[in-house]
Amino acid sequence: MLNNEMYFVRNMKWLRDEAAPRETWEYQIVADSEIVGAVTYGPYYFTVWQIGFDTKEGDGRWLCLRVNHRMTVGDDSPAEPASRDGFYHGGGAPDEIVALSSLFLRRRLSLGPVVRIGDLPRMLDRRNRANSWIDRPLVAGQSNLNALPDWFQKVEGLRSALHQPFILSVKLYQQALALIEDSPDIAYLNLVSAIEVLSGEFDVGPVTLADRDSKLALLVARIPDEDLRRDIERRSLELERFIGRRFVRFILDHVEEDFWDHADRPEMGRVESDNLPKLLKRVYAFRSKALHSGEPFPAFVLRPPLMGAEIPFGFSFAQGERQWDEKDYIPYAHFFERLIQHVLLNFLKRNQTN
């Protein structure tokens, strides 16, 4: 049976058993405001760490979170086997404590590295990047400012009605680049939004009520009055924006063959052009779950791609209690970023006044 309780709660219940094996870990917490005091709550100890420094409003300062974790021994596991419906939000009890404290104190708090395990000082990067990059092409190689005048000229030539949506889209792309290493999931959302800004009026072709809701179409089809049936269908389609469909069609319409000819594409984990439509539908579905249900992107999006892969390879990917199968895979952030840049440039080139 799935356990839907937060790890913060589960860990306290596990440790009520005095015989349960446990280990103490300490974490650095970073704040940018004055916080005082200390609190012990069950197996958790949260305290001010940085004392006596001359700090002002907005300066970074450190707190310490000590957590007694229940350990696993042999085949014993505190988590259910991974599944498609497993409990997952991208972190554990320390992440939950810091997020909850941010809410209750109305302060910016972020969880830093592990600083101690048991009695031993240990500095561990919780992101486990090992000097890897999520989007290495952004920092590799060299760029020449001499390439800018031709693009600036195209901005001048852009149809005036498109100036504001284009620069809004460009700023979302710029924000994605700034976030992609530390918050690739938020960068992913920004990249999707960069396309939504431009695709709102994009023609998606003829649509039917069944495209919107197949069950509703069957119900409407039972109405004997043909004129009434047609009016209901027409009005229903007027109310439907087909935003996800516009997102997919817009990208597909602006992808040209040279995108697939990139020299550094991997041998394994390569996105094929004929798979792009269904992958974009998945991307938009995950985007909607993230925005409307708070469900995080799959865990592999938060990690550097293996061997530069554009999409995970293998039959499944699991983290903790959650598992994603091949039918859940979406491209890594570095591939999606390159795709969006390609689309924005082509949009600019295609919408010149001359």
DSSP per residue, 102-117:
HHHHT--EEEEEEEEE
Q: What mean pLDDT value characterizes the chain? A: 88
Tell me which of 82-96, 126-140, 172-186, 289-303 is least confident: 126-140
Distance CA 248, CA 252 (A): 6
- pLDDT attached to residue 187: 96
What is the per-residue pLDDT across 23-35, written as a single tens digit (0 to 9) for each? 999 999 999 999 9
Asked if the model's pLDDT at residue 156 lies above 90, the reply is: yes
- Classify the C-alpha dihedral 254-260-265-269 as positive or negative: positive
Phi (first) and psi of residue 44, to 5 degrees? -120, 135
Cβ neighbours for 101, distance < 8 A, ≥ 6 positions apart: 46, 107, 109
Asked if the model's pLDDT at residue 98 lies above 50, the reply is: yes
Residue 2 vs residue 150, higher pLDDT? 150
Greatest extent of the chain over all pairs of C-alpha atoms, in Å: 80
Q: Which two tokens stand for residue 1?
A: 């049976």
Distance CA 142, CA 146 (A): 12
High-pLDDT (> 90) share of the chain, %: 65
Asked if the model's pLDDT at residue 131 lies above 50, the reply is: yes
In this structure, the number of other CB atoms found within 10 A of the CB of residue 48 comes to 16
Residue 160 pLDDT level (bands cut at 50, 70, 90): very high
- pLDDT attached to residue 353: 92
Phi (first) and psi of residue 19, to 5 degrees? -85, -5
What is the per-residue pLDDT across 252-284, written as a single tens digit (0 to 9) for each? 999 999 999 988 899 999 999 999 999 999 999
Asked if the model's pLDDT at residue 297 lies above 50, the reply is: yes
Of 210, 282, 275, 284, give the one whose Cα is nearest residue 246: 284
Distance CA 175, CA 136 (A): 17
**How much is the average pLDDT of 160-164?**
93
SS3 call for 228: helix
Residue 51 pLDDT level (bands cut at 50, 70, 90): confident
18: Cα separation from own chain's centroid: 39
Tell me which of 209-218, 247-256, 265-274, 284-293 is least confident: 209-218
What single-letter amino acid sits at 297?
F
Residue 80 vs residue 264, higher pLDDT? 264
What single-letter amino acid sits at 250?
F
Of 272, 258, 206, 252, give the one whose Cα is nearest residue 347: 252
Distance CA 293, CA 11 (A): 25
Residue 237 pLDDT level (bands cut at 50, 70, 90): low
What is the per-residue pLDDT across 322-341, written as a single tens digit (0 to 9) for each? 999 999 999 999 999 999 99
**How much is the average pLDDT of 275-302?**
94
SS3 call for 304: coil
CB–CB of 293/52 below 8 Å? Answer: no
- pLDDT attached to residue 192: 97
**How much is the average pLDDT of 70-97?**
77
Tell me which of 75-84, 132-141, 204-213 is least confident: 75-84
**How would you class 267 by CB atoms within 10 Å of its CB: exposed for 0-12, middle for 13-18, buried for 19 or more?**
exposed
**How much is the average pLDDT of 295-307?**
91
Of 288, 311, 292, 293, give the one whose Cα is nearest residue 301: 311
What is the per-residue pLDDT across 113-122, written as a single tens digit (0 to 9) for each? 999 999 999 9
- pLDDT attached to residue 175: 95
- pLDDT attached to residue 75: 46
**How much is the average pLDDT of 54-78?**
81
Q: Which two tokens stand for residue 336?
A: 């999606």
Residue 181 pLDDT level (bands cut at 50, 70, 90): very high
**How would you class 141 by CB atoms within 10 Å of its CB: exposed for 0-12, middle for 13-18, buried for 19 or more?**
exposed
